[in-house]
Structure 1
Amino acid sequence: MLSWAVQNGQIDMNYIKGFTRLYRSDRADVIWQAADIETFMANAPLEMQRALILALHTGLRQGDILKLCWTNYDGESLTLSIGKNGRGGLKARPVAIPCTQSLRTMLDGMERTQAVILTTTTGRPFTKRHFGSQWRQAMKAAGMESSPLHFHDLRGTAITMLAEAGCSIPQIVSITQHSLATATRILEVYMSRTRHLANQAIAQFENASATHFCKPAANRHAETRE
């Protein structure tokens, strides 16, 4: 805000420019586990369950999810202009996110009472504040009010799941809509270092032809000890 004021002649100098940031948020290891999702889905209201499914199966931010309309859904994909892609006064280009079978099943089974997909119990669109309030109540109903998990952690969970499924960086960012140049940093921010990823890495190491040279040495060492 102060930088904008300097550029537009409102103030002469940004006096906090160059200050070291004292706090950095890193929620790379805060992801929804299977047990968390099952608990939430078993106790939360239907509207909040739908929100979780949309976030988990698309990796979209809360703001984009709340703005999703039925016109964005063609039975196969969700096509929308993602909010942060329109920064700097540029018009965000439409992005198509293919829907998983589970997401299509949910969407195809919903009544279309409003232009937007997610609605309140009274059938009205969610405001950001009302959604936040309802989400907190849903977490409390699920006995998760003291959990460190937030709604926006579902985005990191989706990215982690894509990585665990073996998706490449270009494949992941084709859904999350970040640039390839920042793909590595994104994964460092969002992708939890899970045991599954470690197991997957070792399995790829063992099956790669390029690593076969090291196996005889390990085998000879084992035989020597016997």
Structure 2
Amino acid sequence: MKKPSITIPYVAWRNGRPRFEPSPTLRTRGYQGEDLKNAAGEWMNAADALEWSQDFARQLAVEKHKIKTKPKRTALPVPPPVRPAFPVSTLFDEWSNLGKNPGWADISEKTQYEYRHKGKVIEKYLPDVWQSETAALTKPICLGMYDILRQQAGLSQASATMRTLGTALTWAMDRGRLPEMLVNPAHKLRMKTPPPRIRFGTKEEIAQMVAVADAIGRSEIGDMIILGVWSGQRQNDRLNFQIAGREKGRIVLRQMKTKAIVSMPEAPLLRARIEASEKRRKLAEVISPYVVLDEKHWTPFKRHHYSHQFGNLRDAAAKGLPETATRKTIAPMPSLKTLRDQDLRDTAVTWLAMAGCTIPEICAITGHEIKSAYDILKHYLALNPEMADSAMAKLVIWFDADDGA
């Protein structure tokens, strides 16, 4: 084969056949010589060899550009954060888990709810703490938590939340979950004590609530209110009471869940309310052991649903009701805006004291411990000048009688 007359870069001709012969520079870069043949294995002609040469030249240009261009620094991968072994969230989960904490069953349902709620307060206002290692808590950190919660959630919520955290930490420390924590960092924070809630229902306010309950077709909530002020029992107990018996003017109530028994004289007003509710059930052909039912569905009240319905009733009683064809006008009573169902228990204690009952007599009805009843009266009776008047009248009678002797 005759050697072509044209010169093609990177191509050498041997006996008319094209071959790639790299220069010494290219050889140091790793290129080696080779015969130039097409895909069919046939020798390239001059046109094919020229096309190959042009492609090779472009390849070299790209490589040259890459060498000149400083390679970008590759960012080192950021390792994922180390997950805490025992974060505060897990502390609350385990503390409220019967499988890990059988003692949780000894806590009342209401207190269990409050403890869980305080965990949610930390999760809401202090999410970083909620996901952080529990063992990392220190007293300065707990004081900082208290300061933040006091500003964002209020003094009462802050104090209660930090006390709850301290209780949870004590449980974990006692069970070896925090071996490096020798002193509970949530204790002795010198938190400001929230002012006591001073509220009880007057006879007029309770009568207004019951009247409005009957007027709007929620007589069962009126029953709950009367049961509250005439028994002094907690809301959750009242929602779960059944009548276990009646004998010689006494009514025996059994808490459906705890089986606790309350035996007390049956006040006429309470008896009338219970008998009226029994008539409504008879008409509806409903049989249930519960003292109070949600009569819209004839099922036991759920605590949160009852609280919502009580709030609606209270608001209606505060605003009053207009006259209709079936009822007279019920005048507004704005003072009711601040009344809670929880105040009914304290109302019972206060009414019993105003009626002249001793603290032991009060505790026999309401189930309060003596110290608890005393603490209630210490705040509530200060608002009643009638008690001072009664006490002074008794003193005068005693003094005059003794003087005459």
Provide TM-score, normalisation by structure 1: 0.79
Residue in 2 that maps onto 1:35: 204
Query: In the TM superposition, what are the counterparts of 1:76-115 in structure 2 within 5 Å?
Result: 76-80=250-254, 94-111=261-278, 113=286, 114-115=288-289
Call closer, same or farther: CA 1:160–1:178 in 2, change over 3 Å.
same
Query: In the TM superposition, what are the counterparts of 1:45-194 in structure 2 within 5 Å?
Result: 45-70=218-243, 72-74=244-246, 76-80=250-254, 94-111=261-278, 113=286, 114-120=288-294, 121-142=296-317, 143=319, 147-180=337-370, 182-191=372-381, 193-194=383-384
Q: Which runs of 5+ in 1 are unaligned?
A: 84-90, 216-226
Q: Which runs of 5+ in 2 are unaligned?
A: 1-167, 320-333
Separation in structure 2 between the aligned mates of residue 46 and residue 92 of structure 1, nearest angstrom: 26
Q: After TM superposition, give the deviation of residue 146 of structure 1 in Å.
A: 7.0
Amino acid of the residue matched to residue 94 of structure 1? I
Q: Does the CA contact (< 8 Å) of 1:156 and 1:191 recur in 2?
A: no
Q: Does the CA contact (< 8 Å) of 1:66 and 1:126 recur in 2?
A: yes
- Which structure is higher in RCO with an 8 Å CA cutoff and minimum separation 6? 1
Residue in 2 that maps onto 1:22: 192
Call closer, same or farther: CA 1:202–1:50 in 2, change over 3 Å.
same
Q: Secondary structure at the match of 2:246?
A: coil
Separation in structure 2 between the aligned mates of residue 160 and residue 211 of structure 1, nearest angstrom: 29
Amino acid of the residue matched to residue 235 of structure 2? Q
Q: Does the CA contact (< 8 Å) of 1:82 and 1:95 recur in 2?
A: no
Q: Does the CA contact (< 8 Å) of 1:68 and 1:117 recur in 2?
A: yes
Call closer, same or farther: CA 1:38–1:211 in 2, change over 3 Å.
same
Separation in structure 2 between the aligned mates of residue 193 and residue 206 of structure 1, nearest angstrom: 22
Identity of aligned residues (%): 27
The answer to which of 204-213 and 194-203 deviates more is 204-213
Call closer, same or farther: CA 1:123–1:82 in 2, change over 3 Å.
closer
Residue in 2 that maps onto 1:195: 385
Amino acid of the residue matched to residue 80 of structure 1? R
Larger radius of gyration: 2
Call closer, same or farther: CA 1:5–1:16 in 2, change over 3 Å.
same
Q: Secondary structure at the match of 2:351?
A: helix
State the Cα deviation string for residues 151-202 of structure 1 (Å, max 9, x = none). 1111111111101111111101111223335543342255453122111111
Q: After TM superposition, give the deviation of residue 20 of structure 1 in Å.
A: 2.2
Separation in structure 2 between the aligned mates of residue 54 and residue 177 of structure 1, nearest angstrom: 14
Provide TM-score, normalisation by structure 2: 0.46
Q: After TM superposition, give the deviation of residue 82 of structure 1 in Å.
A: 10
Q: After TM superposition, give the deviation of residue 18 of structure 1 in Å.
A: 1.3
For the aligned residue pairs, the C-alpha RMSD in angstroms reads 2.8
Amino acid of the residue matched to residue 194 of structure 2? R
Residue in 1 that maps onto 2:143: none
Q: Does the CA contact (< 8 Å) of 2:381 and 2:387 recur in 1?
A: no
Residue in 2 that maps onto 1:219: none
Residue in 2 that maps onto 1:218: none
